[in-house]
Structure 1
Amino acid sequence: MSTPASIANQYEVTLGPEDDPKRIGTGRKWVITLVICNAALCATFASSIASFTETGLQRDLHTVREVTILSISLYVQGLALGPLLFAPLSEVYGRNNVYRVSYFLFWVFTWPIAFPPDIETFLVFRFLTGFSSSAFLSVAGGSVSDLFDNKQVATPMGVYTLSPFFGPVLGPLISGIICQNTDWHWAYRVCLIYEFVTLVSLLVFVPETYVPVLLKRKAARLRKKTGNEKYWAPLDRREGSLTHAIMASIYTPFKLLLFDKMALSLNTWNALTLGILYLTFEAFPVIFGDVHGFTFQETGLAFLGMGVGMIAALSTQGLWNRYHDTVAARHGGKLPPETRLVMGMVGAVLAPVGLFWMAFTTYRAVPWILPIIASSLFGAAIIFIFTSTFTYLVTAYRPIAASAMASNTALRCSFAAAFPLFAVQMYDRLTTVGATALLAGLMTLMAPLPFLYYRWGERLRAQSKFAVVDL
């Protein structure tokens, strides 16, 4: 005799080959991935586009430099807070709906920035644009993992990891060229154009890839087609309200930071690294503008050093893939999470080396190319550090992977928002050598983390209330 449970299971919809996003053709997968990566790049590009508009803001909106620096800090603080809302929304309404709504708001909220009536309006909408665009820091990585299986995901995930960190490097470059040759308003008008093109590409090329939402839609189609209301998907029987999911999204990441020392220390390492990256938007004009006499345009081009380092680091992904395959083969096909930290070890060494090199080559008598070359080492370190930490957190804290990443995003973006606020004062008091050496010293103090967790990570995971041991 059939039980109610067996009858219910009979009508539960499952993912067929025609519905599976992993069955999409490879070419189309990469088009979708690159469109999503471009959207993430655009979101962080808009954060640093403000780096050379401060003089124009002071003149036209009648304010002071300390206030104009908030144009970067408030945007980045929006990036920190937005994922706490967008992550749970994407689990109910799907990734694509969140992308489209958030990016439309991102574009709309940029209009008052491109045509600001006063500094108060400008700053409020800088925060709102950062908040709206943050979906691509919290949700987009899930879209990449939806499309590729575990054996193929490393390279596309590496490209996605590069995107939000290459955006802050590209922003000053474009901003310097614009502000050197035309009115500062055009920096934000270029953002409007870029965001609109990106929004159209999202609408045209990116389908829904989140499997629970695909199953929910399939169940709805079957109910409508057959007239049988018994068809259902797991999301139809989701427990708890959306409000509860949002509160959990806010509460769980902070609980992880408060009660898990390993997550806190790795997130602090990431936060310091991103804070230094955003501090360069105020430091490079001092190093290359005041010391070497660079124009806005030339100072913007100086950021290419970090960009080249990031691309060079990404180009090594194939070597890391082969290394991970070799280690997995020795462990019965399962890759220990701590193996991901080997890449972080390389970044942990490169970051202080690059910063110390930069510190002691910022003298006027030293050729300007040397600190730019040094910055390329820091750029490479950024990719190695974040790629290793992201993959480690997602693997080691698998049951709460979204919360682990949300805690990382909230802490590192908060640091990135705060660091530019004191950059000019720090460089004025400590000089370019002392200030940059101080940053290098901080990165040196954090450098042992991946080495320690590579050795002791499995034992620490066993003691953690949040991490997993058996993978």
Structure 2
Amino acid sequence: MDPKKNDIIAPSELTPRPGDDIELASIPATIPVTKTIDPFLVEFDATYDAENPKHWPTGHKWAVTDVLSATGFIRIMVSTIMAPALSTIAHEFNMSSTESAMALSIYLLATAFGPVFIGPLSEIYGRKRVLHASNIWFLIWNIACGFANSKELLIASRFLAGFGASSIYALAGGVLGDVWMPEQRGHSLGIYLLIPLLAVAVGPIIGGFMAFRTTWRWMFWSTSIFQAVMIVVSFTVFRETYAPLILSRRAEKLRRETGNSQYYTADERLDGEKTVLARLGQALSRPLRLLAFHPIIQVTSILSAFYYGILYIVLSSFSELWIQEYNYTAEISGLHYIACALGELVGSQIGAQLMDFFYRRKLARSSESGVVPESRIPLVFFGALFSALGLFVYGWTAQYHVHWIAVDIAIFIQMLGSQIAGMPMMAYVIDVYPNHTSSAMAATQFLKSLTAFLFPLFAPSMYRAIGYGWGNTTMAFIGLFLGVPAPMIIWKFGTRLRAKATSSY
């Protein structure tokens, strides 16, 4: 065994020496333990460690990122693919308008609760096991949707499929935080989002053509085939990225091979003598504790939830706009989702470049204290302004049936702004909660998924009551009301809030 590879330093280099009588319990838990205090602490070599995900070759990092990206693509596509066929499904199962909207949105309700369990479990059992298990669960229930013979079975299967699909919302931020450095955060997020955001357009387009030319059931069967392929790929390509689990396995190997039970990791020291049930209880409650007691999570969640809810209002109602107001077919209505996808794609790439540019610039000018996470926040203001402008123009061009290109340009601007506003918030959460990113992302996803579920339910009534013009104008003003003060709070008080926050452990 190579001692350097496993972080075992020669006794002569340590203070105190391994032969000394060291009682770990005598060291307060609040004091970080290093090898200069205890030579039996197992940690990564700060210079280079082949097992440290942040030190992996770039190709390995991109392989893991691409698996997540493709997984996100299929999960988002399944959430939107039903939109153009809702009227057909409602007719077949004799569903009311509320029930048909529920069949679409119940998937999103599941993604509110799934990450609350899945995120913490990935911080106990690792990202790899949780990803594989959730992939199989999602496949089973997505197939069941295609064979549903009643509205009750369809809605129930959609909920259970959404529960499995929700793993990506907890795992993506965690894995990206595991493998990429802060100065690469924008680029990694931009590439990760590139493929999933295509699903915003691909889902409704495929759904529109299938609803027109074949049975809607092929929406689920075709996506299940793709998911089955992705399961094979993920089993082959995806590697464990969660550092505490990797170190725990290294410590266990050292204990087994040396016969010395004194080797341990920092996380094992924090866990102490806790039982498995105690660890599970602490982990599973972490997302809700973060949401309840951490103002940073509360502010970022509210702002992110609003933009996510607007996204699903557009996705659920866009096809109806073209079919009922512009008299287009389901096929053609699906093509207009290209404007939605392009806005998100362009916004994600612009946001990624700007995030890394500003971070590197700040890093070059910073003192020894480094770059604070709040340096991500100013970009949110620009995104909020573009999003509000796009909503306003979209509402009034749709209200007066202006040429379709004007409506599509407006929705392009709105989606672009939402992405530019949303990405820095995600990066900020990853930066602030590096040890429990999945739990933090699960906490923010909870409110996001709730708004994605609830907003489409009231959108049809809102548009009928006050029209597209005033409906979208109202949401634009709400966006400005949230999109300016919320980032300002984080920008001014974020450092103080982080200092006062109780441990996320």
TM-score normalized by the length of structure 2: 0.84
Aligned partner (choices 289, 305, 314) of residue 339 of structure 2 = 305
1:46/1:462 CA distance change after superposition, 3 Å: closer
Question: Structure 2 matches for 1:128-277, cutoff 5 A?
Answer: 128-161=160-193, 165-225=197-257, 231-234=263-266, 238-239=271-272, 240-249=274-283, 251-261=285-295, 263-277=297-311
Among 21, 32, 35, the alignment partner of 1:3 is 21
- Within a 5 Å distance, the mapping from 1:71-470 to structure 2 comes to 71-161=103-193, 165-225=197-257, 231-234=263-266, 238-239=271-272, 240-249=274-283, 251-261=285-295, 263-316=297-350, 317-332=352-367, 334-363=370-399, 365-396=401-432, 401-449=437-485, 452-453=488-489, 456-458=492-494, 461=497, 464-466=500-502
Determine helix, strand or coil for the equivalent of 1:324. helix
Cα deviation code 1:238-282 (max 9, x no counterpart)? 343444444445544444444455543332121111111111133
Question: Cα deviation per residue 1:74-105 (whole Å; 9 max; x = unaligned)?
Answer: 11111111111112211221110000011111
Structure 1 stretch displaced more, 325-334 or 391-400: 391-400
Change (3 A) 1:50 1:111: same
Amino acid at match of 1:284: F
**Counterparts in 2 of 1:70 and 1:249: CA distance versus 1, 3 Å:** farther
- Cα distance change of structure 1 residues 462 and 157 upon mapping to structure 2, 3 Å threshold: closer
For the structure 1 residues 147 and 256, does the alpha-carbon distance in structure 2 shift closer, same or farther, using more than 3 Å as the test? closer
- Judging changes above 3 Å, is the alpha-carbon distance between structure 1 residues 458 and 15 closer, same or farther for their aligned structure 2 residues? closer
Q: State the number of aligned residues.
A: 468
d(CA) in 2 for partners of 1:31, 1:312: 23
How far did 1:185 drift? Answer: 0.5
Distance 2:491 2:91 in 1: 55
Kept in 2, the 8 Å contact 1:396–1:467? The answer is no
Measure the CA separation in 2 of the matches of 1:221 and 1:455. 45
In 2, distance between residues paired with 1:421 and 1:244? 39
Instruction: Identify which range, 271-280 or 113-122, moves more after superposition.
Output: 113-122
Q: What are the Cα deviations for residues 161-198 of structure 1, in whole angstroms up to 9, with x where unaligned?
A: 55555534432222112212211001111110121121
Q: Distance in 2 between matches of 1:286 and 1:438?
A: 20
Q: Look at both structures and tell me which one has the larger radius of gyration over its CA atoms.
A: 2
SS at match of 1:278: helix
Matches of 1:393 and 1:235 in 2, distance apart? Answer: 21
Q: Secondary structure at the match of 1:92?
A: coil
CA contact (8 A) 2:83 2:207 kept: yes
Provide the alpha-carbon RMSD of the alignment. Answer: 2.8
Say whether the 8 Å CA contact 1:85–1:246 is kept in structure 2.
no
CA distance in 2, matches of 1:305, 1:112: 31
The answer to which of 64-73 and 177-186 deviates more is 64-73
Runs of at least 5 residues in structure 1 that lack an aligned partner in the other structure: none
**Local SS of the residue matching 2:339:** helix
> In the aligned structure 1, how far is the partner of 2:177 from the partner of 2:236?
20
Which whole-Å CA distance do the structure 2 matches of 1:9 and 1:460 have between them?
32
Preserved CA contact (<8 Å) 2:76 2:196: yes
Structure 1 residue 231, shift from structure 2 partner:
4.8
TM-score (norm. length: structure 1)? 0.90
Identity within the alignment, %: 24
Higher deviation after alignment, 286-295 or 327-336: 327-336
The residue type equivalent to 2:416 in the other structure is A
SS in 2 for 1:129: helix
1:25 and 1:192, CA in 2 relative to 1: closer, same or farther beyond 3 A?
A: same
Cα distance, 1:397 vs structure 2? 5.3
Deviations 1:183-240 (A, max 9, x none): 1001111110121121111111111111222223234444555566555445556343
Letter in 1 for 2:360: D
